[in-house]
Structure 1
Amino acid sequence: MSTTSLPTPDHAAELRSAMLAAGFTADGLLDLLGAPAYAALARSETVPALRATRGGGDGPLATLVRLFLLQQPVPYVHAATAMPVEAALADGWLRREGDEVHATVDVRPYGGPDGEDWFIVSDLGCAVGGAGGIGSREEGVVLGVGGASTTLAGITVRTPVGSALDVGTGSGIQALHATRHATRVTATDVNPRALGFTRLTLALSGAPEAELLTGSLFEPVGEATYDLIVSNPPFVISPGARLTYRDGGMGGDDLCRTLVQEAGARLNPGGYAQFLGNWQHVEGEDWRDRLRSWVPRGCDAWIVQRDVQDVTQYAELWLRDAGDHRTDPEEYAQRYEDWLDEFEARKTRSVGFGWITLRRTDAAEPSIVVEEWPHTVEQPLGEAVLAHFARQDYLREHDDAALLEARFVLVEEVVQEQVGSPGAEDPEHVVLRQNRGMRRATKVDTVGAGFAGVCDGSLSAGRILDAIAQLMQEDPVVLRDRTPEAIRMLVEQGFLEPVATPGQKPAP
């Protein structure tokens, strides 16, 4: 494990002030580098940014970018104009070699959801790429912000809570977000260096301090319970545990399974637990059933599979992440063999990736939705997550008869598309499509399209169906009998919203 000492946050407030004064922010980077070079950083490519900062002269912003984000030495005199350089040297943010100074850590400007100017502190080179991007395969390397981090931050429910727990905090990104809406934040990690980076991230971002505990999964918090639990865990399914930030050290997908199964007992009533994860697609087993078996008693669950890779694609992805493709060809081939041997032994044919959200309800009949949705979504999705579980509550409380008595409105951003051959009098099918949130699309028949189009909250579902039956010369009893299932689907997927009748409390 890496033993490189970390800076202290003693003068983090002064360093933060200097960075903000220089414009070392997410917006400032975009202005200085331009969109192409800024986007290249997300792909772990630094050459465009290096070229852009050469043209930026020796100003404070260009100096900070080259020093902390691009890991280039800068003259001491230039650093002195950009920050309190002696304090940065004393605290360990910089080291001096002759007339030049070098950064000891990566610092990446990171924009908060409400325009906050935050900074993510990580190991050198890791603010703009994975371990493979810097050629580092040290066990304890701590990465900065990446796609998985921002995905989890985007789907997390952001209602005010008393307590939040970030399991496997890494450089502290989820803990930082949680400080905005949680009175008390706890962050854990098996890697003590990760907790050190979290402390630096919070201090340099001007955020409140968090409780930092060393240990695996829920072990460090004992029997404590929380209103919100989040985790971007080391979910990679690999042979062994080479890199702490990604390899969980348990066989197969056992780490993700354990995290999910143990989370239920750590949630307060009504609390949410939200994770990213990988899971195996095992020969002879439905992956949906596998994930349903993970859900702890007393919890509703919404599990969304976003991607699936066959075992060769998956192995290649993570071998490259570790930089193994740059090693001796024979060594690379042997590591590749090790991955495939592991998958073969477990009868794993592919690996899924996605989101897992639990909500503790203690309901007698929990709602467990496991689905595949690989299509584009609109982040942030925290409000969509809340709405999903509110709809599950509504459907759990309303049988078919109650649905027919209820009134609904078509959600505002839903549009209707008709698909058919050019010149055809009638469409082959009708699609309802959402333009926000999950951006779902679903086929509906003539009755479903007509029903959804008429839903404006003024008539009950049953009365609308009676009118449709009369127009189509169908038996209204038969139509009432077969349509509630379709109504239930449209409500569950967010195409229709229930409307409260006079004297009733508003529907979720």
Structure 2
Amino acid sequence: MQLSDTDLIRLRADLIAVGYLVDDVLDRIGELGQAGLGRNMTVPADVALGEATDLLSTLIRLFLLQQSVPADRLDGVVDADALVRAGFLSLDGDAVRALVDVRPYGSPDDGASGWVVADLTPGLDQIITPTRPDYVLGVSPASTTLAQITMRMPVDTALDLGTGCGVQSLHLGRHAGRVVGTDVNARALELAAVTAALNEADIDLRAGSLYEPVTGERFDLIVSNPPFVMSPPSADGDTLVYREANFEADLLVETLVRGAGEHLTHGGSLQLLTNWAVLDQPWEERLAGWVPDGCDAWVIERERLDVFSYIEMWLTDAGLAGTERWRPAYDEWLGYFEKLGISSVGMGWIQITRAGRDEPHRRFESWPHAVAQPVGDVFARNASAVDAYRLPTGELLASRPRLVDVDQETLGRPGAADPEHVIFRQRVGLLRAIKADTALAAVLGALDGDLTLAQVIGAVAQVLDIAAADLGAAVIPEVRQALLDQFLTLEE
């Protein structure tokens, strides 16, 4: 599936000329049309287009709604013959139909906008068909979430491990000097190359599994939404490469985590959107055993699924809903999970950082609550937050913490003279909250970066008529936690 460089240059120019761009498409199909496509339903967008036969509506129908369109409508718009030869379109008489999805893509927060090329969205309008083994997934909620949790600070080198359609590489290219994208799926690399070319992105694409294509190399940032689905082993020809890899249970994820230390520069990080098996052993202890020596770890469990919900989700994703293969496959998965002792599945975010601390910082938590995406900056600030959290007490007291991006609320009984607690709630990031008593609230509220922590504690102790040492003993642990949770910062 290849287009010549000349054909790719022309296709990009043609898409721009027609206005096949995110904002223009959204204007044409409207919010309801966009919401419908999010539900895999084309009817709202089709209704919005009405009887229109202009160039933009033709491309929307062709690629997004997967409709056949008269071939002559593309005359002077795109080089249909070249797209047919490349396998992007099929010609049936006087009509053409898309064989791949060329989709406008927009990311206003980092400017990674253009087009993503992938296989057609399955299950449109409830037409369920089995998924081909080498299927290449386009932009999905998972890929969007990974982009939103990825640290966006400038780096020299970045690795998009399991690049798929190449969407993560588009984001990485905005802040990395060099980007390598790898995939075991040859078809994915073909489509990722088209994605890169249409967006004029310089991506070094390589074939191979896990870290094999980058043996001996190190990166400042590695991101991956790996094929983590814990399905029963199957013949290679039946494996859905975009989501599963015939590793037992979550061994693939374990392998990625364990190997991170050998492929990260000092201070570099691996960020994963993934899942892991929950067995008899506490999940935190089990995952802690994967973390390489000398590396910090921050693992956030965003969701916990029982085995039934997990199996049903992925059987539906494979296009087995409503087929005679549903129940046999369901029973096979149940037997596989029972044999491995998997009681449930954790789904979430993993960050491994080659921090080189004498005593690594390892944090494992469940946070199923709403967050304010994108949260990449939260992960980017984690290393400095850990440094602040671990400051010796003398240095902490001499520091000048500052409360950032926080709203203050009061909590108490109606009619009471004073509130029982003060709530400090983050406006950005993970949207955490601190429930503070009077003393802690007074200290936190006074930390504006001008006074040292010791000066604030002394002043509050005087107002509350308590010993500064006693107040310090009570609030310093809370201040440390507030620094770790990024309510407070030591940055100027």
**What interval of TM-score do these two structures reach, taking the shorter chain for normalisation?**
over 0.9
CA distance in 2, matches of 1:134, 1:196: 25
Does residue 82 in structure 1 map to residue 77 in structure 2?
A: yes
Does residue 335 in structure 1 map to residue 329 in structure 2?
A: yes
Distance change (3 Å), C-alpha of 1:116 and 1:174: closer
Shift of 1:115: 4.0
Q: Aligned AA for 1:287?
A: W
Task: Select the residue among 320, 344, 349 that pairs with 1:350.
Answer: 344
For 2:142, the equivalent position in structure 1 comes to 148
For 2:99, the equivalent position in structure 1 comes to 104
Note the 1:132-171 alignment, pairs <5 A: 134-171=128-165
Runs of 4+ in 1 over 4 A off after TM superposition: 5-10
Task: Select the residue among 281, 306, 319 that pairs with 2:278.
Answer: 281
For 2:192, the equivalent position in structure 1 comes to 198
Task: Select the residue among 230, 234, 253 that pairs with 1:237.
Answer: 230
Partner deviation per Cα, 1:20-47 (whole Å, 9 max, x = no partner): 1111111111100000111221221222
CA distance in 1, matches of 2:457, 2:107: 47
For 2:86, the equivalent position in structure 1 comes to 91
For 1:174, the equivalent position in structure 2 comes to 168
CA distance in 1, matches of 2:111, 2:461: 52
Partner deviation per Cα, 1:336-368 (whole Å, 9 max, x = no partner): 122222222222221111111122121111122
Shift of 1:147: 0.7
Note the 1:461-500 alignment, pairs <5 A: 461-498=453-490
Q: 2:180·2:206 contact (CA, 8 Å) conserved in 1?
A: yes
Aligned length: 487
CA distance in 2, matches of 1:7, 1:65: 21
Q: Aligned AA for 2:401?
A: F
Give 3-state SS (helix, strand or coil) of 1:442's partner: strand
Q: Aligned AA for 1:418?
A: T
| 66-75 vs 400-409, which moves further | 400-409
Distance change (3 Å), C-alpha of 1:422 and 1:9: farther
CA distance in 1, matches of 2:414, 2:334: 49
Once the two structures are aligned, what percentage of the paired residues are identical? Answer: 43
CA distance in 2, matches of 1:480, 1:336: 57
Shift of 1:8: 5.5
Give 3-state SS (helix, strand or coil) of 1:107's partner: strand
Q: 1:93·1:103 contact (CA, 8 Å) conserved in 2?
A: yes
Distance change (3 Å), C-alpha of 1:287 and 1:8: farther
Q: 1:281·1:352 contact (CA, 8 Å) conserved in 2?
A: yes
Note the 1:18-57 alignment, pairs <5 A: 18-55=14-51, 57=52
Shift of 1:89: 3.1
Q: Aligned AA for 1:255?
A: L
Shift of 1:179: 1.9
CA distance in 2, matches of 1:483, 1:240: 53
Task: Select the residue among 425, 428, 450 that pairs with 1:436.
Answer: 428
Distance change (3 Å), C-alpha of 1:8 and 1:291: farther
Task: Select the residue among 440, 447, 456 that pairs with 2:439.
Answer: 447
Partner deviation per Cα, 1:290-334 (whole Å, 9 max, x = no partner): 222221112222211111111111111111111212212xx3222
For 1:456, the equivalent position in structure 2 comes to 448
CA distance in 2, matches of 1:205, 1:41: 23
Q: Aligned AA for 1:85?
A: A
Give 3-state SS (helix, strand or coil) of 2:359's partner: coil
| CA RMSD, 1 decimal | 2.0
Shift of 1:199: 0.5
Give 3-state SS (helix, strand or coil) of 1:34's partner: helix
- The answer for unaligned runs of 5 or more in structure 2 is none
Shift of 1:155: 1.4
For 2:67, the equivalent position in structure 1 comes to 72
Q: 2:221·2:264 contact (CA, 8 Å) conserved in 1?
A: yes
Q: Aligned AA for 1:286?
A: P
CA distance in 2, matches of 1:59, 1:402: 67
For 1:503, the equivalent position in structure 2 comes to none
Shift of 1:394: 2.6
Q: 1:240·1:247 contact (CA, 8 Å) conserved in 2?
A: no
Q: 2:67·2:97 contact (CA, 8 Å) conserved in 1?
A: yes
- The answer for unaligned runs of 5 or more in structure 1 is 500-505
Distance change (3 Å), C-alpha of 1:266 and 1:86: same
